[in-house]
Chains A and B, each alone.
Chain A
């Protein structure tokens, strides 16, 4: 039994008269502690998969087993709990609370979880120990994303889901972020799933899932994932 198993998942949207199928029978599974990269062109359905996996959306058909629990049949309350305790999400546009300092943004997450990591410690983990009391407006993009990652990690989630985390960052900063994610995955053993449309990143992952046109076209494992430093694009 894989850590995460997605079986036969369908997600359809009704737009007036037409039905758009975002996920047309998605199947894949993930192992614990894997660094997973999901690649595919725009509009392929990647974000949809991540959103559903992250408990932000529900699928119309299929099973999603996370650590033995099928979240496809979970109700709103159970999904909230799932998001609260089991998931850490990182967005493309950081989505930090502008009114709170970096540390408080992390505390926002750690307040709602028992046995959370200490906010300062996590900030230190992401290399922002010196930026605890700055507001997001005072941080650069990379720093903001780090805070977002810290926020996600503070909860000690089962899955760390990242939707195009480097999309709004420049080359160097993006690389740094990816490094951070990779390190986190290896050091803490958190299962990390990253969505990107940049194929070049694929080698750093343990598992690469290719989604195209609402279906999983290809999934392969990397026996020896490369370090991000070795990748150039």
Chain B
């Protein structure tokens, strides 16, 4: 039996696969959405809780800017119920290379410990553990990171300016997360007005020089085991916070008093220093006067002595001078004489020289001439010899010639002809001819040639001889000329000799004179020496006096230097003292009671925001999946019902055969069970792993953990699968059993088709008459199956409303920021400052604001925050803004009515303008009063004169008069709203740091609420997922309904096909109904969507924010179009199905 049943079920599944699959798909979709979305918030929370537990996060953190002193510590530790407490140091420093602002804390031991992501904890004092986000900025393990020494606007200028840290260079050992820094994109404010922190780091406690701890972290016994968002936990910690506040209530005043005392002490010290210095100056001045007097006396005396001496010297000197003059005269005479003597002597010597020269020249000339004469004579002799030789040779030649000719004539040759021949040949140089003529000719030619040579030679020698003879004559003439010269020279010589004698005499005279002069000089010397010694002794006296005087002068100088030194010192001290007094006075004035910031986990806005987002997400997950599931179940219901209907006959047959009810319905039960279980499993496997993770990652922008600590929340899985099973298997069972109430025969008879009746619309004859035939058919068909019609409308409207909602939400999110910042809030920065910190800096700041081109407009305001409480809601912070110049300020901030955007407000004389979100939360309207708690913990009743449109944060705007009246003091302008110049290309970071450079500027806040926009962006993603799933659902619903529609009316449709309706007409016949239902569904969907939108806007957004409530026409359009598109797609499928109808099969009789 069992196997047959299984076979049957299997076959049934196979043959109606589309139905089976559609049920499976619906269930899996429903489970997917339900389980996935319901599991999202727990997943987010779970991840955060895990992280909180792993890091043993503190329950309370107490921090004060001055540091916790001993008394503070003992007060804190005196609380009961503390399980552990840790105290830590902290300082905010800039890195040396990249100028990032990092908060360095001492390494936690057990409370709020860092969560390592890489590396290890620091073990030595020179090691450091960095914020994980700094790894992305390029820092690595092992690298050395150095910091610049701290600067603070609040530090006292003490003489010993001690550095906060022992060292400023550290080696990086690792990276970590920390529970106080859970949002990587949102920077926290540094404490000393230095700007925003870029990260944090942990170093060993030993590095800090301070005695006072910066903050304390506590863990409470009672809170053990509870999670951060449980109400019990919140109550425990907020109670403890209240208690602690009470315990520490007197501390701020005390600390302030101590500080003021310190300041007063410093003022007193410095005033004393001032008096001392002044006295010093007086003393020194006295000394100086004394010294001066002494000096003057001495100087006078010296002057007198000097004068005397001068006179004496003068006289003696004049005497000597006279003597000297005389001597000088003598000397000059002598000199003249000597000069003359020298002159003459030199003349004489010149003369002598000339004479010698002349004489010598003469002798030389003579000798030379004589020598020349000799030489020439010799040559002459030689020449004569030569000539005679030549003549001899000639004679020989003649002889030879004669011989030759005799020989020739003996031979019979005529000598003349022969002579002529040969001489001609010789003349023409015809040697060969000559040779041809024979030896005799040759000999004769030689003779001729030789003769010619010798004749030439003789001529030459004779010529030379002549020359020499001429020369000899000349020499003789010269010698004669020389003689008179010789005579002259002799005369000169004798003159010279005479002169010499004269000179000698003169010299002797001069020498004498010289000797006399010398004597005279010696005399003078003597008398001079006398004078000198006299003078010296006198000078000695004077010197003595002078030394004394110098001493005295020195004394004076010393005294003067000393005085100047001391005066300078004293002036410095005075200046120093004055400055310190001024500082101290200023700080005294600016000193406010130091705030003891007590934070529970909720107060850490980053941390809190995450849970908050999870909670709001959860709300969405209560609406959407339920809706979704509902529709999915509806479809399953109708499908299973249809199935049971179709099997009516079978069921009847089985009953007739004798099967019992359970056996018959088993099949359908199991059919439903299988499909829903398989669908459920798919949904479970995909739901939380994919969808919860997807939603999680939509929010991971605001959380350091990009991936969750994944955990399956089985309760949702189980619930959704059970519901799925109920909607399929259980429904099938129930429906089949309903059928089984009838008897077999009735079941086997074909079910009478539902009777057609007149529909209500017919009675409206006016409309009915105007409808075309086919329109009437459609109307009848629609209203015939009322249940199905309702279901279709419901399904379609549900899906349309979800799509509508999705788009409307997106619009609300995306339009929020443009509306807030283009239409309402025009300024981009709020700068908080305190003019009392430094007058000069305040003036500079004011000038900067006026002059800088980066700022287009700024407006001075007084900014104070106030709290508003209501049971059940968390405390809301309201920013009260009191403008100095309301007109100016209203140019930077538009205040207008939320209902009528054209109606703008100005500051009322009486009352304040409240932003609309808080007005909603507090349920106040114009004319009511709002009770707020100001910074001094006073309760103030504020009259609400108008309510303005605002989306981010709560604000109260009031005039300064009203403020003064209400709070009892004048507003102390402490902030500037700044609008930047849009046509300047301004680097915002540079601008902010420029502002922070002014000593008076405490902080710069941007108005664009980075955290809000982040959380809204996450919402965007979630909404996108919603739209997608809704669309899918819409499609499946329409498809399913259409199919059921067709299945039920198969016979009718086949008949029409037989009648000859074309396929388009057939499809239109069916589709007209679907289309009309879609239109109605869309209309209803709009209404539902608007309601849902309104509801969600209230809940989904954090308390301090609103989303833009207006729904744009585009949303309506898109929702409608999407629904229609799906219905068109479905129609296409339907068309093809209708086309394939086998008329014959469908119309087969019931036999």
A residues in contact (CB < 8 Å) with B: 51, 54, 56-57, 77, 80-85, 87, 89, 91-93, 95-101, 104, 107-109, 111-112, 135-137, 151, 155, 167
Candidates A91, A99, A136; contact of B1147 at CB < 8 Å:
A91
Q: How far does the Cβ of A48 sit from chain B's closest Cβ, in whole Å?
A: 9
Quick one: given A56-B1058, A95-B1051, A135-B756, are A104 and B777 in contact (CB under 8 Å)?
yes
Cross-chain contact A83 with B753 (CB below 8 angstroms): no
CA distance A107 to B753 in the complex (A): 21
Which residues, 913 to 965 on B, are CB-close (under 8 Å) to A? none
Which residues, 1109 to 1151 on B, are CB-close (under 8 Å) to A? 1143-1144, 1147, 1149-1150
Which residues, 726 to 778 on B, are CB-close (under 8 Å) to A? 752-757, 773-774, 776-777
- Whether a CB of chain A sits under 8 angstroms from the CB of B1061 is yes
Cross-chain contact A137 with B1059 (CB below 8 angstroms): no
Cross-chain contact B757 with A135 (CB below 8 angstroms): yes
- Whether a CB of chain A sits under 8 angstroms from the CB of B663 is no
Q: How far does the Cβ of B54 sit from chain A's closest Cβ, in whole Å?
A: 66
Q: Can you list 11 residue pairs at the A/B interface with Cβ under 8 Å?
A: A56-B1143, A80-B1060, A87-B1060, A97-B1055, A98-B755, A100-B777, A101-B756, A104-B777, A135-B756, A135-B757, A136-B756
Quick one: given A56-B1144, A85-B1060, are A98 and B754 in contact (CB under 8 Å)?
yes
Cross-chain contact A81 with B1060 (CB below 8 angstroms): yes
Cross-chain contact A111 with B773 (CB below 8 angstroms): yes
- Whether a CB of chain A sits under 8 angstroms from the CB of B784 is yes
Q: How far does the Cβ of A24 sit from chain B's closest Cβ, in whole Å?
A: 18
Closest Cβ neighbor of A107 among chain B residues: B773
CA distance A98 to B780 in the complex (A): 10
**A87 partner residues in chain B, CB cutoff 8 A:** 1060
Cross-chain contact B755 with A104 (CB below 8 angstroms): no
Q: How far does the Cβ of A43 sit from chain B's closest Cβ, in whole Å?
A: 11
Cross-chain contact B1062 with A80 (CB below 8 angstroms): yes
Q: How far does the Cβ of B1150 sit from chain A's closest Cβ, in whole Å?
A: 7
Which residues, 1080 to 1096 on B, are CB-close (under 8 Å) to A? none
Cross-chain contact A99 with B1065 (CB below 8 angstroms): no
CA distance A91 to B1059 in the complex (A): 12
Quick one: given A98-B1052, A112-B1065, are A51 and B1144 in contact (CB under 8 Å)?
yes
**A137 partner residues in chain B, CB cutoff 8 A:** 752-753, 755-756
Q: Tell me the interface secondary structure of chain B in the complex.
A: helix
Residue among B752, B1055, B1062 with the highest chain A CB neighbour number at 10 A: B1055
- Whether a CB of chain A sits under 8 angstroms from the CB of B461 is no
Cross-chain contact A95 with B1147 (CB below 8 angstroms): yes
CA distance A97 to B773 in the complex (A): 14
Q: How far does the Cβ of B882 sit from chain A's closest Cβ, in whole Å?
A: 74
Closest Cβ neighbor of A89 among chain B residues: B1058
Quick one: given A107-B773, A135-B755, A137-B756, are A95 and B1055 in contact (CB under 8 Å)?
yes
CA distance A157 to B777 in the complex (A): 24
**A93 partner residues in chain B, CB cutoff 8 A:** 1149-1150
CA distance A89 to B757 in the complex (A): 26
Candidates A84, A96, A100, A104; contact of B1060 at CB < 8 Å:
A84
- Whether a CB of chain A sits under 8 angstroms from the CB of B1056 is yes
Q: How far does the Cβ of A161 sit from chain B's closest Cβ, in whole Å?
A: 10
Which residues, 69 to 105 on B, are CB-close (under 8 Å) to A? none
Closest Cβ neighbor of B1054 among chain A residues: A95
Closest Cβ neighbor of B752 among chain A residues: A137
**B814 partner residues in chain A, CB cutoff 8 A:** none
Interface size of B in residues (CB-CB distance below 8 Å): 30
Cross-chain contact A57 with B1144 (CB below 8 angstroms): yes
- Whether a CB of chain A sits under 8 angstroms from the CB of B781 is yes
Q: How far does the Cβ of A108 sit from chain B's closest Cβ, in whole Å?
A: 7
Could you give, for residues 1044-1070 of chain B, a 1 whenever the CB lies within 8 Å of some chain A CB and a 0 otherwise? Answer: 000000011011101111110100000
**A136 partner residues in chain B, CB cutoff 8 A:** 756
B residues in contact (CB < 8 Å) with A: 752-757, 773-774, 776-777, 780-781, 784, 1051-1052, 1054-1056, 1058-1063, 1065, 1143-1144, 1147, 1149-1150
**B756 partner residues in chain A, CB cutoff 8 A:** 97-101, 135-137
**A104 partner residues in chain B, CB cutoff 8 A:** 773, 776-777
Cross-chain contact A83 with B1058 (CB below 8 angstroms): yes
Q: How far does the Cβ of B1140 sit from chain A's closest Cβ, in whole Å?
A: 11
**B752 partner residues in chain A, CB cutoff 8 A:** 137
Cross-chain contact B1061 with A112 (CB below 8 angstroms): yes
Quick one: given A51-B1144, A56-B1143, A136-B756, are A112 and B777 in contact (CB under 8 Å)?
no
Cross-chain contact B784 with A99 (CB below 8 angstroms): yes
Cross-chain contact A108 with B1056 (CB below 8 angstroms): yes
Q: How far does the Cβ of A54 sit from chain B's closest Cβ, in whole Å?
A: 8
CA distance A31 to B1051 in the complex (A): 32
Cross-chain contact A92 with B1060 (CB below 8 angstroms): no
Candidates A92, A95, A111; contact of B774 at CB < 8 Å:
A111
Cross-chain contact B753 with A98 (CB below 8 angstroms): yes
CA distance A97 to B1144 in the complex (A): 17
**A101 partner residues in chain B, CB cutoff 8 A:** 756
CA distance A92 to B599 in the complex (A): 87
**A82 partner residues in chain B, CB cutoff 8 A:** 1060
**A91 partner residues in chain B, CB cutoff 8 A:** 1055, 1147
**A111 partner residues in chain B, CB cutoff 8 A:** 773-774
Closest Cβ neighbor of B755 among chain A residues: A137
Residue among A87, A99, A135, A151 with the highest chain B CB neighbour number at 10 A: A99
**B1058 partner residues in chain A, CB cutoff 8 A:** 54, 56, 83, 89, 95
CA distance A104 to B778 in the complex (A): 12
Given A91-B1055, A97-B777, output 14 extra A-B contacts at Cβ < 8 Å.
A56-B1144, A77-B1062, A80-B1061, A83-B1058, A84-B1062, A89-B1058, A93-B1150, A95-B1052, A97-B1056, A100-B780, A111-B774, A112-B1060, A112-B1065, A151-B1059
Q: How far does the Cβ of B14 sit from chain A's closest Cβ, in whole Å?
A: 15
CA distance A93 to B1150 in the complex (A): 9
Q: How far does the Cβ of A51 sit from chain B's closest Cβ, in whole Å?
A: 5
**B1062 partner residues in chain A, CB cutoff 8 A:** 77, 80, 84
CA distance A96 to B1051 in the complex (A): 9
**B1149 partner residues in chain A, CB cutoff 8 A:** 92-93, 167
**B1147 partner residues in chain A, CB cutoff 8 A:** 91, 95
Q: How far does the Cβ of B924 sit from chain A's closest Cβ, in whole Å?
A: 59
**B780 partner residues in chain A, CB cutoff 8 A:** 99-100
Closest Cβ neighbor of A83 among chain B residues: B1060
CA distance A90 to B1149 in the complex (A): 13
CA distance A125 to B621 in the complex (A): 66
Closest Cβ neighbor of B750 among chain A residues: A93
Q: How far does the Cβ of A81 sit from chain B's closest Cβ, in whole Å?
A: 7
CA distance A87 to B1143 in the complex (A): 15
CA distance A111 to B1056 in the complex (A): 12
Cross-chain contact A97 with B1052 (CB below 8 angstroms): yes
Quick one: given A56-B1143, A93-B1150, A109-B1059, are A99 and B777 in contact (CB under 8 Å)?
yes
CA distance A167 to B1058 in the complex (A): 20
CA distance A100 to B1051 in the complex (A): 14
Q: How far does the Cβ of A168 sit from chain B's closest Cβ, in whole Å?
A: 8
Closest Cβ neighbor of B753 among chain A residues: A98
Q: How far does the Cβ of B788 sit from chain A's closest Cβ, in whole Å?
A: 13
Q: How far does the Cβ of B1075 sit from chain A's closest Cβ, in whole Å?
A: 18
**B757 partner residues in chain A, CB cutoff 8 A:** 135
CA distance A100 to B762 in the complex (A): 12
**B784 partner residues in chain A, CB cutoff 8 A:** 99
**A100 partner residues in chain B, CB cutoff 8 A:** 756, 777, 780
CA distance A80 to B773 in the complex (A): 21
Q: How far does the Cβ of B1069 sit from chain A's closest Cβ, in whole Å?
A: 10
**B1150 partner residues in chain A, CB cutoff 8 A:** 93
Closest Cβ neighbor of B1066 among chain A residues: A80
Cross-chain contact A112 with B773 (CB below 8 angstroms): no
**B781 partner residues in chain A, CB cutoff 8 A:** 99
CA distance A54 to B1143 in the complex (A): 11
CA distance A151 to B754 in the complex (A): 21
Closest Cβ neighbor of A108 among chain B residues: B1059
Candidates B774, B1059, B1063, B1144; contact of A84 at CB < 8 Å:
B1059
Q: How far does the Cβ of A160 sit from chain B's closest Cβ, in whole Å?
A: 13
